[in-house]
């Protein structure tokens, strides 16, 4: 399984407005940067809270991993993404660090969706 599978799952969970699914993509102690000028959020439960605004209306997401650097069970990924909803379109270029779990899945350790 490749790290990019996390992007496919994120897009599916976002479309289905599945907050628990989104949360499952993050390590228990992960860090998430909600946006430019905002303080990082730590831990899966707090990250789920920070993701709630993205579920306010049905959305679709397109993600393309522009670079993936994998070293064993760690990966640094730089994707471009676009989320389209009734409110409009938001896009960015992320910087992410992922870890492969003992089960073979990948989870975010650091997710910085705006690359700031």
> Could you report the per-residue pLDDT of 33-72, keeping only the tens digit for each?
999 999 999 999 999 999 998 888 888 999 998 999 999 9
Q: pLDDT tens, 86-100? A: 888 989 999 999 999
Torsion angles phi and psi, residue 4, rounded to 5: -60, -15
Total length of the chain: 116
Whole-model pTM: value is: 0.93
Tokens 């599916």, residue? 12
Please list, residue by residue across 3-41, b when 16 or more beta carbons sit within 10 angstroms of its beta carbon and e when fewer do.
bbebbebbbebbeeeebeebbebbbeebbbbbeeeeeeb
Q: What pLDDT, on a 0 to 100 scale, did the predictor assign at position 46?
A: 98
Compute the distance between CA of residue 89 and CA of residue 69 in angstroms, rounded to an integer.
Answer: 28
């Amino acid at each position: 399984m490749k790290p990019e599978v996390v992007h496919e799952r994120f897009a599916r969970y976002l479309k289905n407005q599945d907050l628990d699914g989104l949360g499952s993509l993050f390590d228990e102690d992960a860090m998430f940067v909600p946006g430019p000028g905002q303080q990082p959020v730590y831990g899966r439960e707090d990250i789920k809270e920070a993701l709630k605004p993205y579920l306010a209306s049905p959305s679709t997401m397109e993600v393309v991993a522009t670079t993936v650097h994998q070293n064993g069970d760690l990966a640094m990924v730089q994707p471009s993404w676009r989320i389209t909803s009734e409110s409009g379109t938001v896009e960015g270029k992320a910087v992410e660090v992922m870890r492969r779990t003992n089960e073979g899945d990948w989870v975010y350790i650091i997710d910085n969706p705006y690359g700031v």
